[in-house]
Structure 1
Protein backbone atom coordinates (compact mmCIF):
# COMPACT_ATOMS: atom_id res chain seq x y z
CA UNK A 1 0.00 0.00 0.00
CA UNK A 2 2.81 2.42 0.93
CA UNK A 3 4.62 1.70 -2.35
CA UNK A 4 1.40 2.35 -4.24
CA UNK A 5 0.87 5.66 -2.41
CA UNK A 6 4.43 6.78 -3.22
CA UNK A 7 4.01 5.83 -6.88
CA UNK A 8 0.60 7.48 -7.07
CA UNK A 9 -1.50 4.34 -7.51
CA UNK A 10 -2.48 2.75 -4.20
CA UNK A 11 -4.84 0.31 -5.94
CA UNK A 12 -1.98 -1.32 -7.84
CA UNK A 13 0.12 -1.53 -4.69
CA UNK A 14 -2.65 -3.23 -2.73
CA UNK A 15 -3.43 -5.64 -5.58
CA UNK A 16 0.22 -6.66 -6.02
CA UNK A 17 0.85 -7.08 -2.30
CA UNK A 18 -2.35 -9.02 -1.62
CA UNK A 19 -1.82 -11.37 -4.57
CA UNK A 20 1.76 -12.12 -3.58
CA UNK A 21 0.57 -12.76 -0.03
CA UNK A 22 -1.62 -15.56 -1.36
CA UNK A 23 1.53 -17.28 -2.60
CA UNK A 24 3.16 -17.49 0.83
CA UNK A 25 0.22 -18.21 3.14
CA UNK A 26 1.44 -21.77 3.66
CA UNK A 27 5.12 -20.92 3.92
CA UNK A 28 7.06 -19.42 6.80
CA UNK A 29 10.69 -18.95 7.80
CA UNK A 30 10.81 -21.35 10.72
CA UNK A 31 14.24 -21.85 12.24
CA UNK A 32 16.97 -20.88 9.80
CA UNK A 33 14.93 -21.45 6.67
CA UNK A 34 14.92 -18.80 3.96
CA UNK A 35 11.98 -18.13 1.68
CA UNK A 36 11.40 -15.82 -1.30
CA UNK A 37 11.14 -12.22 -0.13
CA UNK A 38 7.92 -11.23 -1.86
CA UNK A 39 7.67 -8.07 0.21
CA UNK A 40 10.67 -6.61 -1.63
CA UNK A 41 9.33 -8.14 -4.83
CA UNK A 42 6.00 -6.39 -4.26
CA UNK A 43 7.74 -3.03 -3.83
CA UNK A 44 9.75 -3.39 -7.03
CA UNK A 45 6.83 -4.93 -8.92
CA UNK A 46 4.57 -2.03 -7.94
CA UNK A 47 7.16 0.49 -9.16
CA UNK A 48 7.53 -1.25 -12.53
CA UNK A 49 3.77 -1.71 -12.91
CA UNK A 50 3.00 1.97 -12.36
CA UNK A 51 5.87 3.21 -14.53
CA UNK A 52 5.22 0.84 -17.42
CA UNK A 53 1.43 0.83 -17.17
CA UNK A 54 1.41 -2.90 -17.97
CA UNK A 55 -0.88 -3.86 -15.11
CA UNK A 56 -0.91 -5.88 -11.94
CA UNK A 57 -0.23 -9.29 -13.46
CA UNK A 58 2.95 -8.04 -15.10
CA UNK A 59 4.09 -6.67 -11.74
CA UNK A 60 3.39 -9.99 -10.03
CA UNK A 61 5.32 -11.93 -12.67
CA UNK A 62 8.23 -9.53 -12.27
CA UNK A 63 8.13 -9.65 -8.48
CA UNK A 64 8.57 -13.42 -8.36
CA UNK A 65 12.15 -13.57 -9.74
CA UNK A 66 13.02 -10.58 -7.56
CA UNK A 67 11.71 -12.44 -4.51
CA UNK A 68 13.71 -15.53 -5.47
CA UNK A 69 16.86 -13.45 -5.93
CA UNK A 70 16.36 -11.97 -2.47
CA UNK A 71 16.72 -15.46 -0.98
CA UNK A 72 20.48 -15.15 -1.54
CA UNK A 73 20.59 -11.79 0.21
CA UNK A 74 18.48 -13.24 3.01
CA UNK A 75 21.11 -15.91 3.56
CA UNK A 76 23.81 -13.22 3.58
CA UNK A 77 21.82 -11.18 6.11
CA UNK A 78 21.43 -14.21 8.37
CA UNK A 79 25.15 -14.93 8.10
CA UNK A 80 25.98 -11.35 9.05
CA UNK A 81 23.51 -11.41 11.89
CA UNK A 82 25.32 -14.33 13.55
CA UNK A 83 28.13 -11.91 14.41
CA UNK A 84 25.77 -9.95 16.62
CA UNK A 85 24.26 -13.17 17.97
CA UNK A 86 27.64 -14.35 19.25
CA UNK A 87 28.37 -10.93 20.72
CA UNK A 88 25.04 -11.10 22.57
CA UNK A 89 25.99 -14.49 24.03
CA UNK A 90 29.34 -13.07 25.13
CA UNK A 91 27.80 -10.07 26.89
CA UNK A 92 25.11 -12.22 28.53
CA UNK A 93 27.82 -14.46 29.98
CA UNK A 94 29.55 -11.32 31.22
CA UNK A 95 26.29 -10.17 32.85
CA UNK A 96 26.14 -7.08 30.65
CA UNK A 97 22.49 -6.91 29.49
CA UNK A 98 22.77 -3.36 28.12
CA UNK A 99 25.51 -4.33 25.65
CA UNK A 100 23.56 -7.45 24.68
CA UNK A 101 20.48 -5.33 24.01
CA UNK A 102 22.51 -2.95 21.83
CA UNK A 103 23.79 -5.84 19.71
CA UNK A 104 20.25 -7.14 19.32
CA UNK A 105 19.32 -3.73 17.94
CA UNK A 106 22.37 -3.56 15.66
CA UNK A 107 21.47 -6.96 14.26
CA UNK A 108 18.33 -5.49 12.72
CA UNK A 109 20.46 -3.32 10.43
CA UNK A 110 21.76 -6.36 8.53
CA UNK A 111 18.17 -7.37 7.79
CA UNK A 112 17.10 -3.87 6.84
CA UNK A 113 20.05 -3.17 4.56
CA UNK A 114 19.65 -6.51 2.75
CA UNK A 115 16.23 -5.25 1.62
CA UNK A 116 16.85 -1.52 1.45
CA UNK A 117 19.92 -1.63 -0.81
CA UNK A 118 18.26 -3.45 -3.77
CA UNK A 119 15.24 -1.14 -3.60
CA UNK A 120 17.51 1.91 -3.28
CA UNK A 121 19.47 0.86 -6.38
CA UNK A 122 16.22 0.60 -8.32
CA UNK A 123 15.18 4.07 -7.20
CA UNK A 124 18.61 5.54 -8.02
CA UNK A 125 18.56 4.36 -11.63
CA UNK A 126 15.38 6.38 -12.11
CA UNK A 127 12.35 6.19 -14.35
CA UNK A 128 14.23 6.70 -17.60
CA UNK A 129 16.41 3.64 -17.09
CA UNK A 130 13.41 1.59 -16.08
CA UNK A 131 11.51 2.66 -19.18
CA UNK A 132 14.54 1.85 -21.35
CA UNK A 133 14.76 -1.64 -19.86
CA UNK A 134 11.06 -2.20 -20.41
CA UNK A 135 11.39 -1.08 -24.01
CA UNK A 136 14.09 -3.69 -24.61
CA UNK A 137 12.17 -6.55 -23.01
CA UNK A 138 10.44 -8.59 -25.75
CA UNK A 139 6.68 -8.89 -25.82
CA UNK A 140 6.74 -12.67 -25.37
CA UNK A 141 8.58 -12.27 -22.07
CA UNK A 142 6.13 -9.74 -20.67
CA UNK A 143 3.23 -11.94 -21.76
CA UNK A 144 4.87 -14.91 -20.03
CA UNK A 145 5.25 -12.91 -16.84
CA UNK A 146 1.56 -12.03 -16.96
CA UNK A 147 0.61 -15.71 -17.37
CA UNK A 148 2.81 -16.72 -14.46
CA UNK A 149 1.22 -13.95 -12.42
CA UNK A 150 -2.14 -15.68 -12.87
CA UNK A 151 -0.81 -19.14 -11.97
CA UNK A 152 1.43 -18.49 -8.98
CA UNK A 153 -1.29 -17.47 -6.46
CA UNK A 154 -2.96 -20.82 -7.13
CA UNK A 155 0.30 -22.54 -6.22
CA UNK A 156 0.34 -20.65 -2.94
CA UNK A 157 -3.20 -21.78 -2.12
CA UNK A 158 -2.27 -25.38 -2.99
CA UNK A 159 0.69 -25.24 -0.58
CA UNK A 160 -1.60 -23.91 2.14
CA UNK A 161 -4.13 -26.71 1.60
CA UNK A 162 -1.38 -29.31 2.13
CA UNK A 163 -0.90 -28.06 5.68
CA UNK A 164 -4.60 -27.84 6.53
CA UNK A 165 -6.98 -30.72 7.46
CA UNK A 166 -8.63 -30.40 4.04
CA UNK A 167 -10.15 -33.89 3.97
CA UNK A 168 -11.88 -33.31 7.28
CA UNK A 169 -13.37 -29.99 6.19
CA UNK A 170 -13.86 -30.67 2.48
CA UNK A 171 -17.52 -29.59 2.69
CA UNK A 172 -16.51 -26.13 3.94
CA UNK A 173 -13.95 -25.86 1.14
CA UNK A 174 -16.65 -26.74 -1.40
CA UNK A 175 -19.01 -24.10 0.02
CA UNK A 176 -16.32 -21.42 -0.23
CA UNK A 177 -15.43 -22.45 -3.78
CA UNK A 178 -19.06 -22.38 -4.91
CA UNK A 179 -19.59 -18.98 -3.27
CA UNK A 180 -16.54 -17.46 -4.97
CA UNK A 181 -16.55 -19.21 -8.37
CA UNK A 182 -20.25 -19.65 -9.13
CA UNK A 183 -22.15 -17.20 -6.95
CA UNK A 184 -19.53 -14.46 -7.57
CA UNK A 185 -19.61 -13.34 -3.94
CA UNK A 186 -16.87 -10.76 -3.24
CA UNK A 187 -13.86 -11.89 -1.21
CA UNK A 188 -15.03 -10.05 1.89
CA UNK A 189 -18.37 -11.86 1.68
CA UNK A 190 -16.60 -15.22 1.34
CA UNK A 191 -14.46 -14.38 4.39
CA UNK A 192 -17.57 -13.52 6.41
CA UNK A 193 -19.21 -16.75 5.26
CA UNK A 194 -16.12 -18.66 6.39
CA UNK A 195 -16.21 -16.93 9.77
CA UNK A 196 -19.88 -17.89 10.18
CA UNK A 197 -19.18 -21.53 9.28
CA UNK A 198 -16.24 -21.59 11.69
CA UNK A 199 -18.46 -20.29 14.48
CA UNK A 200 -21.12 -22.93 13.71
CA UNK A 201 -18.45 -25.65 13.80
CA UNK A 202 -17.12 -24.28 17.09
CA UNK A 203 -20.60 -24.33 18.63
CA UNK A 204 -21.15 -27.92 17.47
CA UNK A 205 -17.88 -29.02 19.06
CA UNK A 206 -18.81 -27.31 22.33
CA UNK A 207 -22.20 -29.07 22.33
CA UNK A 208 -20.48 -32.43 21.81
CA UNK A 209 -18.22 -31.80 24.80
CA UNK A 210 -21.14 -30.71 26.97
CA UNK A 211 -23.19 -33.76 25.96
CA UNK A 212 -20.37 -36.21 26.75
CA UNK A 213 -21.04 -37.87 30.14
CA UNK A 214 -18.38 -37.36 32.77
CA UNK A 215 -17.64 -40.46 34.84
CA UNK A 216 -14.99 -40.05 37.48
CA UNK A 217 -14.45 -43.83 37.46
CA UNK A 218 -13.32 -43.64 33.82
CA UNK A 219 -10.69 -40.95 34.23
CA UNK A 220 -7.05 -41.20 35.20
CA UNK A 221 -5.21 -38.98 37.65
CA UNK A 222 -4.79 -36.34 34.91
CA UNK A 223 -8.53 -36.23 34.17
CA UNK A 224 -8.23 -37.95 30.76
CA UNK A 225 -10.99 -40.33 29.69
CA UNK A 226 -10.37 -44.10 29.59
CA UNK A 227 -12.60 -46.98 28.62
CA UNK A 228 -13.52 -49.97 30.74
CA UNK A 229 -10.17 -51.64 30.03
CA UNK A 230 -8.27 -48.54 31.08
CA UNK A 231 -7.28 -47.61 27.50
CA UNK A 232 -7.21 -43.92 26.58
CA UNK A 233 -9.98 -42.56 24.39
CA UNK A 234 -9.57 -39.79 21.81
Structure 2
Protein backbone atom coordinates (compact mmCIF):
# COMPACT_ATOMS: atom_id res chain seq x y z
CA UNK A 1 0.00 0.00 0.00
CA UNK A 2 2.92 2.35 0.67
CA UNK A 3 4.12 2.08 -2.95
CA UNK A 4 0.64 2.86 -4.26
CA UNK A 5 0.37 5.82 -1.89
CA UNK A 6 3.71 7.11 -3.15
CA UNK A 7 2.59 6.78 -6.78
CA UNK A 8 -0.54 8.79 -6.03
CA UNK A 9 1.68 11.36 -4.27
CA UNK A 10 3.90 11.68 -7.34
CA UNK A 11 0.90 12.28 -9.60
CA UNK A 12 -0.42 14.82 -7.10
CA UNK A 13 2.86 16.71 -7.41
CA UNK A 14 2.94 16.47 -11.22
CA UNK A 15 -0.56 17.94 -11.43
CA UNK A 16 0.13 20.88 -9.13
CA UNK A 17 0.33 24.49 -10.25
CA UNK A 18 3.72 25.73 -11.51
CA UNK A 19 5.12 22.20 -12.00
CA UNK A 20 6.65 21.95 -15.50
CA UNK A 21 7.41 18.23 -15.78
CA UNK A 22 4.04 17.11 -17.21
CA UNK A 23 3.82 19.75 -19.92
CA UNK A 24 3.33 22.74 -17.65
CA UNK A 25 -0.17 24.04 -16.94
CA UNK A 26 -1.66 22.29 -19.98
CA UNK A 27 -0.49 18.79 -19.16
CA UNK A 28 -0.33 19.17 -15.39
CA UNK A 29 -2.90 21.45 -13.78
CA UNK A 30 -5.41 21.43 -16.65
CA UNK A 31 -5.12 17.70 -17.36
CA UNK A 32 -3.70 15.61 -14.50
CA UNK A 33 -5.52 17.66 -11.85
CA UNK A 34 -8.93 17.25 -13.48
CA UNK A 35 -10.89 14.76 -11.32
CA UNK A 36 -12.14 13.04 -14.46
CA UNK A 37 -8.53 12.19 -15.38
CA UNK A 38 -7.21 11.62 -11.87
CA UNK A 39 -10.12 9.31 -11.06
CA UNK A 40 -8.95 6.92 -13.75
CA UNK A 41 -5.30 7.23 -12.65
CA UNK A 42 -6.05 6.69 -8.96
CA UNK A 43 -8.48 3.88 -9.76
CA UNK A 44 -5.81 2.16 -11.84
CA UNK A 45 -3.25 2.44 -9.03
CA UNK A 46 -5.69 1.17 -6.39
CA UNK A 47 -7.06 -1.60 -8.61
CA UNK A 48 -10.62 -0.26 -9.00
CA UNK A 49 -10.75 1.69 -12.26
CA UNK A 50 -14.53 1.64 -12.51
CA UNK A 51 -15.10 3.15 -9.08
CA UNK A 52 -12.32 5.67 -9.68
CA UNK A 53 -13.94 6.89 -12.89
CA UNK A 54 -17.41 7.03 -11.31
CA UNK A 55 -16.15 9.12 -8.39
CA UNK A 56 -13.99 11.23 -10.71
CA UNK A 57 -16.95 12.09 -12.93
CA UNK A 58 -19.10 13.04 -9.93
CA UNK A 59 -16.35 15.21 -8.43
CA UNK A 60 -15.56 16.79 -11.81
CA UNK A 61 -19.16 17.99 -12.08
CA UNK A 62 -18.76 19.87 -8.79
CA UNK A 63 -15.67 21.78 -9.91
CA UNK A 64 -16.43 22.05 -13.63
CA UNK A 65 -16.93 25.82 -13.36
CA UNK A 66 -14.26 26.58 -10.77
CA UNK A 67 -11.91 29.46 -11.61
CA UNK A 68 -8.99 30.91 -9.67
CA UNK A 69 -9.03 34.67 -10.33
CA UNK A 70 -5.90 36.44 -9.16
CA UNK A 71 -4.58 33.29 -7.49
CA UNK A 72 -7.64 33.04 -5.22
CA UNK A 73 -8.49 29.36 -4.80
CA UNK A 74 -11.85 28.44 -3.22
CA UNK A 75 -10.76 24.79 -3.07
CA UNK A 76 -7.50 23.04 -3.87
CA UNK A 77 -8.49 20.95 -6.88
CA UNK A 78 -5.17 19.12 -6.80
CA UNK A 79 -5.90 17.61 -3.39
CA UNK A 80 -9.45 16.90 -4.49
CA UNK A 81 -8.14 15.05 -7.53
CA UNK A 82 -5.74 12.68 -5.74
CA UNK A 83 -5.83 12.08 -1.96
CA UNK A 84 -9.56 12.86 -1.74
CA UNK A 85 -10.59 10.57 -4.59
CA UNK A 86 -8.22 7.89 -3.30
CA UNK A 87 -9.82 8.01 0.15
CA UNK A 88 -13.24 7.93 -1.49
CA UNK A 89 -12.33 4.72 -3.31
CA UNK A 90 -10.71 3.12 -0.27
CA UNK A 91 -13.67 3.98 1.97
CA UNK A 92 -15.94 1.87 -0.22
CA UNK A 93 -18.74 4.37 0.29
CA UNK A 94 -21.34 5.57 -2.18
CA UNK A 95 -19.93 7.95 -4.86
CA UNK A 96 -22.21 10.71 -3.55
CA UNK A 97 -20.68 10.36 -0.10
CA UNK A 98 -17.21 10.36 -1.69
CA UNK A 99 -18.08 13.68 -3.37
CA UNK A 100 -18.82 15.22 0.03
CA UNK A 101 -15.51 13.90 1.41
CA UNK A 102 -13.63 15.26 -1.60
CA UNK A 103 -15.19 18.70 -1.24
CA UNK A 104 -14.21 18.84 2.43
CA UNK A 105 -10.62 17.83 1.75
CA UNK A 106 -10.43 20.33 -1.11
CA UNK A 107 -11.31 23.19 1.23
CA UNK A 108 -8.73 22.02 3.76
CA UNK A 109 -6.16 21.87 0.95
CA UNK A 110 -6.37 25.64 0.53
CA UNK A 111 -4.41 25.94 3.79
CA UNK A 112 -1.45 24.16 2.19
CA UNK A 113 -1.89 26.19 -1.00
CA UNK A 114 -1.78 29.48 0.92
CA UNK A 115 1.27 28.29 2.89
CA UNK A 116 3.02 27.53 -0.39
CA UNK A 117 2.25 30.95 -1.83
CA UNK A 118 3.52 32.73 1.29
CA UNK A 119 6.74 30.71 1.32
CA UNK A 120 7.31 31.32 -2.38
CA UNK A 121 7.35 35.05 -1.68
CA UNK A 122 10.50 34.47 0.38
CA UNK A 123 12.11 32.83 -2.65
CA UNK A 124 11.27 35.96 -4.65
CA UNK A 125 13.32 38.06 -2.24
CA UNK A 126 16.17 35.57 -2.52
CA UNK A 127 15.98 35.92 -6.29
CA UNK A 128 16.11 39.73 -6.03
CA UNK A 129 19.25 39.56 -3.92
CA UNK A 130 20.81 37.11 -6.40
CA UNK A 131 20.07 39.54 -9.26
CA UNK A 132 21.70 42.41 -7.35
CA UNK A 133 24.76 40.26 -6.70
CA UNK A 134 24.91 38.97 -10.29
CA UNK A 135 24.59 35.38 -9.02
CA UNK A 136 23.14 33.43 -11.96
CA UNK A 137 23.04 30.14 -10.08
CA UNK A 138 21.30 31.84 -7.19
CA UNK A 139 18.62 33.13 -9.58
CA UNK A 140 18.05 29.60 -10.91
CA UNK A 141 17.85 28.16 -7.40
CA UNK A 142 15.38 30.81 -6.22
CA UNK A 143 13.10 30.49 -9.25
CA UNK A 144 13.36 26.85 -10.30
CA UNK A 145 14.89 24.66 -7.59
CA UNK A 146 13.57 25.79 -4.21
CA UNK A 147 9.91 26.31 -5.30
CA UNK A 148 9.83 22.84 -6.89
CA UNK A 149 11.27 21.21 -3.78
CA UNK A 150 8.68 22.97 -1.62
CA UNK A 151 5.83 22.03 -3.97
CA UNK A 152 6.93 18.41 -4.02
CA UNK A 153 7.11 18.23 -0.22
CA UNK A 154 3.72 19.87 0.43
CA UNK A 155 2.00 17.70 -2.22
CA UNK A 156 3.76 14.37 -1.91
CA UNK A 157 4.05 14.01 1.87
CA UNK A 158 0.43 14.91 2.83
CA UNK A 159 -0.89 12.68 0.04
CA UNK A 160 1.17 9.68 1.13
CA UNK A 161 0.22 10.16 4.78
CA UNK A 162 -3.47 10.62 3.96
CA UNK A 163 -3.74 7.64 1.62
CA UNK A 164 -1.47 5.23 3.47
CA UNK A 165 -2.39 5.99 7.07
CA UNK A 166 -5.76 7.66 6.63
CA UNK A 167 -7.58 4.92 4.72
CA UNK A 168 -8.22 2.68 7.78
CA UNK A 169 -9.41 5.67 9.80
CA UNK A 170 -11.73 6.81 7.02
CA UNK A 171 -13.13 3.29 6.80
CA UNK A 172 -13.67 3.06 10.56
CA UNK A 173 -15.23 6.54 10.68
CA UNK A 174 -17.63 5.71 7.87
CA UNK A 175 -18.63 2.48 9.60
CA UNK A 176 -19.23 4.29 12.91
CA UNK A 177 -21.39 7.07 11.45
CA UNK A 178 -25.17 6.79 11.90
CA UNK A 179 -27.12 5.99 8.77
CA UNK A 180 -28.87 9.36 8.94
CA UNK A 181 -25.53 11.17 8.68
CA UNK A 182 -24.47 9.03 5.72
CA UNK A 183 -27.81 9.70 4.03
CA UNK A 184 -27.35 13.44 4.60
CA UNK A 185 -23.86 13.28 3.08
CA UNK A 186 -25.28 11.38 0.10
CA UNK A 187 -27.95 14.05 -0.44
CA UNK A 188 -25.35 16.81 -0.19
CA UNK A 189 -23.05 14.92 -2.54
CA UNK A 190 -25.89 14.66 -5.04
CA UNK A 191 -26.60 18.40 -4.84
CA UNK A 192 -23.00 19.56 -5.32
CA UNK A 193 -22.63 18.32 -8.94
CA UNK A 194 -25.92 20.04 -9.80
CA UNK A 195 -24.55 23.24 -8.28
CA UNK A 196 -21.36 22.95 -10.34
CA UNK A 197 -23.29 22.44 -13.58
CA UNK A 198 -25.62 25.31 -12.68
CA UNK A 199 -22.69 27.69 -12.16
CA UNK A 200 -21.22 26.62 -15.51
CA UNK A 201 -24.52 27.21 -17.31
CA UNK A 202 -24.87 30.71 -15.87
CA UNK A 203 -21.37 31.51 -17.19
CA UNK A 204 -21.75 30.22 -20.75
CA UNK A 205 -25.43 30.94 -21.51
CA UNK A 206 -26.19 34.56 -22.36
CA UNK A 207 -29.84 34.06 -23.28
CA UNK A 208 -31.88 32.19 -20.67
CA UNK A 209 -34.09 30.76 -23.41
CA UNK A 210 -31.13 28.54 -24.37
CA UNK A 211 -31.69 26.58 -21.15
CA UNK A 212 -34.25 24.65 -23.19
CA UNK A 213 -31.39 22.74 -24.81
CA UNK A 214 -30.16 21.66 -21.40
CA UNK A 215 -33.68 20.51 -20.51
CA UNK A 216 -33.90 18.52 -23.75
CA UNK A 217 -30.66 16.77 -22.87
CA UNK A 218 -31.89 16.05 -19.36
CA UNK A 219 -35.15 14.56 -20.68
CA UNK A 220 -33.25 12.50 -23.27
CA UNK A 221 -31.01 10.96 -20.61
CA UNK A 222 -33.36 10.56 -17.65
CA UNK A 223 -36.69 9.74 -19.30
CA UNK A 224 -35.82 8.51 -22.80
CA UNK A 225 -32.63 6.80 -21.53
CA UNK A 226 -30.60 7.58 -24.64
CA UNK A 227 -26.91 6.71 -24.64
CA UNK A 228 -24.19 9.30 -25.13
CA UNK A 229 -23.83 8.65 -28.87
CA UNK A 230 -27.54 9.22 -29.48
CA UNK A 231 -27.48 12.30 -27.26
CA UNK A 232 -24.52 13.71 -29.19
CA UNK A 233 -26.40 13.22 -32.47
CA UNK A 234 -29.52 14.90 -31.07
CA UNK A 235 -27.39 17.77 -29.75
CA UNK A 236 -25.67 18.23 -33.13
CA UNK A 237 -29.02 18.33 -34.92
CA UNK A 238 -30.43 20.90 -32.47
CA UNK A 239 -27.27 23.01 -32.78
CA UNK A 240 -27.52 22.95 -36.58
CA UNK A 241 -31.21 23.96 -36.49
CA UNK A 242 -30.51 26.76 -34.01
CA UNK A 243 -27.57 28.07 -36.04
CA UNK A 244 -29.48 27.94 -39.32
CA UNK A 245 -32.59 29.73 -38.11
CA UNK A 246 -30.77 32.26 -35.92
CA UNK A 247 -28.49 33.09 -38.86
CA UNK A 248 -31.54 33.46 -41.12
CA UNK A 249 -33.21 35.79 -38.60
CA UNK A 250 -30.09 37.95 -38.36
CA UNK A 251 -29.88 38.16 -42.16
CA UNK A 252 -33.51 39.24 -42.43
CA UNK A 253 -33.00 41.92 -39.76
CA UNK A 254 -29.97 43.28 -41.63
CA UNK A 255 -31.95 43.32 -44.91
CA UNK A 256 -34.78 45.30 -43.29
CA UNK A 257 -32.34 47.81 -41.88
State whether TM-score is above 0.5: yes
* Stretches of structure 1 lacking an aligned partner (at least 5 in a row): 214-226, 228-234
Question: Shift of residue 135 of structure 1?
Answer: 3.3
Question: Shift of residue 99 of structure 1?
Answer: 5.2
Are the structure 2 counterparts of residues 24 and 189 from structure 1 closer, same or farther at C-alpha, using a change threshold of 3 Å?
A: farther
Question: Shift of residue 33 of structure 1?
Answer: 0.8
**Mapping 1:8-157, distance limit 5 Å:** 8-88=47-127, 100-106=139-145, 107-125=147-165, 127-157=167-197
Specify the SS of the correspondent of 2:99: helix
Task: State the Cα RMSD in Å.
Answer: 3.5
Q: TM-score, normalised by structure 1?
A: 0.72
Question: Shift of residue 67 of structure 1?
Answer: 1.0
Q: TM-score, normalised by structure 2?
A: 0.67
Contact 2:91 2:167 in 1 (8 A): no
Are the structure 2 counterparts of residues 126 and 23 from structure 1 closer, same or farther at C-alpha, using a change threshold of 3 Å?
A: closer
Q: Which has the higher helix share?
A: 2
In structure 1, distance between residues paired with 2:187 and 2:48: 22
Are the structure 2 counterparts of residues 173 and 130 from structure 1 closer, same or farther at C-alpha, using a change threshold of 3 Å?
A: closer
Question: Shift of residue 130 of structure 1?
Answer: 3.9
Are the structure 2 counterparts of residues 21 and 111 from structure 1 closer, same or farther at C-alpha, using a change threshold of 3 Å?
A: farther
In structure 1, distance between residues paired with 2:130 and 2:78: 33
1:221 is aligned to none
Contact 2:127 2:138 in 1 (8 A): yes
Q: Does 1 or 2 have the higher relative contact order (CA < 8 Å, sep 6+)?
A: 2
In structure 2, distance between residues paired with 1:139 and 1:98: 59
Aligned length: 215
Contact 1:22 1:156 in 2 (8 A): yes
2:225 is aligned to 184
Question: Shift of residue 29 of structure 1?
Answer: 0.9
Question: Shift of residue 150 of structure 1?
Answer: 0.8
